[in-house]
Amino acid sequence: MRIKEIYLDLDDVLNTLAPYVLVKLLLLDKDPKSYVWWDSRWGYSIASAARDLANKAGCCEPGSPFWSNFDREGWASVPLDPNAVWLIDTCSQLVGAENVFILTRPTQFGDCYAGKCDWVSDKLGQHWLDRLIVTGQKRLLARKDRLLIDDHQDNLTSWEFAGGEAIAYPRPWNSKKGLDPAEHVRMRLSGWFGSHIQEPYES
């Protein structure tokens, strides 16, 4: 079976949303591009992480103002993941850039959709907006010749159940935590495309 299209998740695959949100809104002295300090007890819940960190600091539990402060500019300024350019370049070489798409789920917070479009245009180039798909139902795009690279286990499971192929992007909240993301993806891609996958490099 040949993979013809590759779908890349945006948040916490091409960017580092989870740590950045906490650093920006809680004014933490942490690296907004690093997941080393992310506690696996939080799972993939920025709200749980924010509550825990606020409690430890003796602050009030963050409520709706926490997210309301993450505006369009916030979504647009999330750091590029260090492996993002390598990942996009690699996938584009394997199936053609016209067959690589970016998937992301919309949220109700901070003019999210516009901010994500700004992010894609600024970080990747305006031409990538034509390949940006905003949906909360990624599984509807799954097919046996389509590959999803995502950090969220529910997305991966539903995609595979719908007949697609999937690679988990290692993060603290999924089963591949602790693995080097680029090396893991490279190893998995080689299973479909052979051993000629280019070496990872940081953006």
Work out whether the CA dihedral 72, 17, 8, 198 comes out positive or negative. positive
Domain ranges across the chain: 5-16+77-193, 17-71
Q: Which of 120, 124, 158 is nearest to 140 (CA)?
A: 158
pLDDT at position 26 is: 86
3-state secondary structure of 86: helix
% residues pLDDT > 70 (the chain) = 94
Q: Which of 22, 12, 18, 19 is nearest to 53 (CA)?
A: 22
pLDDT at position 65 is: 59
CB 149 within 8 A of CB 8: yes
**Cα separation of 163 and 170, whole Å?**
22
pLDDT at position 123 is: 97
Residue 192, pLDDT > 80, answer yes
Q: 40 pLDDT band (50/70/90 cuts)?
A: confident
Please state the rounded mean pLDDT for residues 173-182. 95
pLDDT at position 66 is: 66
% residues pLDDT > 90 (the chain) = 74
pLDDT at position 78 is: 97
CATH of domain 5-16+77-193: 3.40.50.1000
In sequence order, the 6+-apart residues with CB closer than 8 A to the CB of 195 are none
pTM: 0.93
Residue 158, pLDDT > 80, answer yes
Task: Choose between 164 and 194: higher pLDDT.
Answer: 164
Q: Which of 132, 135, 163, 165 is nearest to 148 (CA)?
A: 165
